[in-house]
Amino acid sequence: MPVAWRVPVLLAGGFALVAGLYAGVLLLSVPVPAPTVALEQVHGPVMVFGFVGTLIGLERAVALGARWALLGPACSGAGAIGLVVAGPGAAGHGLLMLAAVILVGVYRALWRRQPSVALLAQAAGAFAWYATTLLWLAGFTVAETVPWLAVFVVATIAGERLELAHVALRDPNAPRLFLAAVLTLVVGAAGSTAVPVAGAHLFGFGLLAVTAWLVVYDVARRLVRSSGLPRYIAVGLLAGYAWLALAGLLWAGGGLVLDGPRYDTVLHAVFLGFTMSMIFVHAPVILPAVLRRPLPYHRLLYAPLVLLHLSLLIRIGFGDGAGWEPVWRWAGLANVAAVVGFAGCAIALSVVAQPEVRSTVRVAS
């Protein structure tokens, strides 16, 4: 699969990120120019599927090595662009649904190569993506489908962590426990749609079960005592798991939530504290594999990571918890700055490292 084919897809994901962040700024009631399309209404779909989904779909397509697999992230990127340009509608949601179907096909192809519990979890994440778009087309609101959105990112990322930790697992029961935790998560999401009150509680327990497995069996607890890139990854992983545990506690104890401060807390604990942290720390490993360009580790990468978690702590603790709206707004802007800052650091480090790679290639040739 030529690298040149991957770049437009990645750019579409980048566009989704920029649009999603701008929509987030609008939701913070910051006085910035508002586009004709109500971006606030598509903030969640654009960020989760347009950005995160495109990244995951692109990485899985590269792992499979089949050109047809690239259609999945291309559809999710195009779907996000459609939502930004035209607003909520069947066209944008339909493209996102098609992307989910193709991603399920990618996992099916990978399963034929080597079946595993990790792939099963990731396929469950892809199914959750499909279920979310189906519910949107049926008239459900984004808030009503948040558990399914969370299953997509949590099951996918947890499955990839199991994939990486598999060789180090010594407990033969670990894969079964992992599967049970993911199954609880999926059943809880389904319950939140069918019987929202009881289902939301079960979904929270599913989140806690997945988090507990990650904390016990992931290598992050050991790597945090190392140095360099391994320690950076471990710090980001453990911080992300803490936010996932908080979301699980609030869902398990508080049940259904569709708006208000608790909704803001669980939403951003999962999609900022957990998901963005995972993207930050895995980027130095995944992006070089996808684009064949180096992204060397540098201590500078800690700056946006720390800003992300510190600003989110302030936003949730003082903004959502204490009800201090100005603090909530400024902390939200700091969340956006952390994501933009990481993107800037990643681009700068990659550009700086590129001449060294070219000179190495010339010497080797």
Q: Tens of pLDDT along 129-151?
A: 999 999 999 999 999 999 999 99
The first and second tokens of residue 148, run together, are 């399914």
Task: Determine the average pLDDT of the residues in 318-346.
Answer: 96
Say how many CA atoms lie within 13 Å of 269 toward its Cβ. 25
CB atoms within 10 A of CB 216: 11
Note the pLDDT tens digit of each residue in 56-87.
999 999 999 999 999 999 999 999 999 999 88
pLDDT band at 354 (very low <50, low <70, confident <90, very high): low
pLDDT of residue 358: 38
Residues 6+ positions from 88 with CB-CB distance below 8 Å: 41, 42, 136
Q: Is the pLDDT of residue 356 over 50?
A: no
Rounded to the nearest 10 degrees, the angle between the axes of helix 275-291 and helix 54-64 is 40
pLDDT band at 38 (very low <50, low <70, confident <90, very high): confident
Q: Using CB atoms within 10 A of its CB, is residue 80 exposed (0-12), middle (13-18) or buried (19+)?
A: buried
pLDDT band at 221 (very low <50, low <70, confident <90, very high): confident
pLDDT of residue 166: 67
pLDDT band at 176 (very low <50, low <70, confident <90, very high): very high
pLDDT band at 163 (very low <50, low <70, confident <90, very high): confident
pLDDT of residue 2: 74
pLDDT of residue 363: 29
Say how many CA atoms lie within 13 Å of 213 toward its Cβ. 29
- Domain range list for the chain: 1-115
Q: Rounded to whole angstroms, how far apart are CA atoms 327 and 307? A: 15
Task: Determine the average pLDDT of the residues in 178-187.
Answer: 96
pLDDT band at 342 (very low <50, low <70, confident <90, very high): very high
Q: What percent of the chain has pLDDT over 90?
A: 80
- Kindly report the average pLDDT of the chain as a whole number: 92
pTM: 0.93
Q: Rounded to whole angstroms, how far apart are CA atoms 70 and 12? A: 13
pLDDT of residue 290: 86
